Amino acid sequence: MLEVLREPLETGQIHLSRARQRVTYPARFQLIAAMNPCPCGYLGDSNARCHCSAEQVQRYRQRISGPLLDRMDLQLSVPRLPGADMLKPDHQGAETSATIRQRVEAARQRQYARRGKCNSQLSATELAEDCRLDSTTQALLSQAAERLQLSGRGLHRVLKVARSIADLGGHDDISSAHVAEALQYRQITAA
Ligand SMILES: [Zn+2]
């Protein structure tokens, strides 16, 4: 059933066909999903509690198809926090939500000023115009695309994320650091 998310994730619309009619509904949404690394949930944990076999882990991960994962821009592994850290009242030195919100709003304003829409909605042509890369950065991206076996769609999505990282930092140009950071957010595809 998860696979039906592929169409709205890509087009922002959902088409329903019934016997006599076909309806299109708007369906632009932000998907946030979580899964365990393996059936027991402890794979990669320092306490070595996981005894899942490689085959079990693979079968478990196959519940999310490659094409669906490909449509998720940020894929991160989040390690368990040590108990002592979870009990701390707050994370000292961490930014507040209000500060982060200001930065996000400024980045969105840059996107709307440039193209009248969010980076995620850029067409392939707009992407090529707004995400020009120097030759070093281009080489970095094409090597990574090879190593991670990125699809054309995956590559475009990495570029859009790199564009947003540059916007968050207030930069007009996308640097190799921005592309490298965007690539780091594809951890699960790389696994
Ligand atoms: Zn396990």
Helix axes 97-115 and 152-168, enclosed angle (nearest 10): 120
Q: Give, rounded to a whole angstrom, the gap between the first and last alpha carbons of the chain.
A: 24
- Residue 90: count other Cβ atoms within 10 Å of its Cβ: 7
User: Per-residue confidence at 189, pLDDT binned at 50, 70, 90?
Assistant: low
Asked whether the beta carbons of 10 and 75 are under 8 A apart, the reply is: no
CA of 75 to the centre of ligand 1 (A): 19
CA of 45 to the centre of ligand 1 (A): 9
User: Per-residue confidence at 106, pLDDT binned at 50, 70, 90?
Assistant: very high
Q: Residue 176 and residue 171: Cα distance in Å, rounded? A: 12
pLDDT of res. 109: 97
Lowest mean pLDDT among 18-22, 65-69, 175-179, 186-190: 186-190
**Is residue 138 pLDDT above 80, yes or no?**
yes
**Is residue 92 pLDDT above 70, yes or no?**
no
User: Per-residue confidence at 190, pLDDT binned at 50, 70, 90?
Assistant: very low
What residues sit around ligand 1, an ion, with C-beta below 5 angstroms? 38, 40, 43, 50, 52
- Give CA angle at 67 (54, 115), nearest 5°: 135
Helix or strand (DSSP H, E) at 24:
strand 22-26
Report, as an integer, the average pLDDT of 104-122.
95
In whole angstroms, how far apart are CA 7 and each of 2, 67, 142, 147? Answer: 11, 11, 27, 27
CA of 47 to the centre of ligand 1 (A): 12
Q: Residue 59 and residue 71: Cα distance in Å, rounded? A: 20
Give which of 101, 98, 96, 114 is closest to 167, Cα–Cα: 114
Beta bridge partners of 26: 13
Q: Residue 86 and residue 14: Cα distance in Å, rounded? A: 40
Q: Residue 30 and residue 27: Cα distance in Å, rounded? A: 10
Type of residue at 66: G
Helix or strand (DSSP H, E) at 7:
helix 6-11
CA of 42 to the centre of ligand 1 (A): 5
User: Per-residue confidence at 191, pLDDT binned at 50, 70, 90?
Assistant: very low
**Is residue 16 pLDDT above 70, yes or no?**
yes
Lowest mean pLDDT among 82-91, 106-115, 124-133: 82-91
CA of 70 to the centre of ligand 1 (A): 24
CA of 122 to the centre of ligand 1 (A): 39
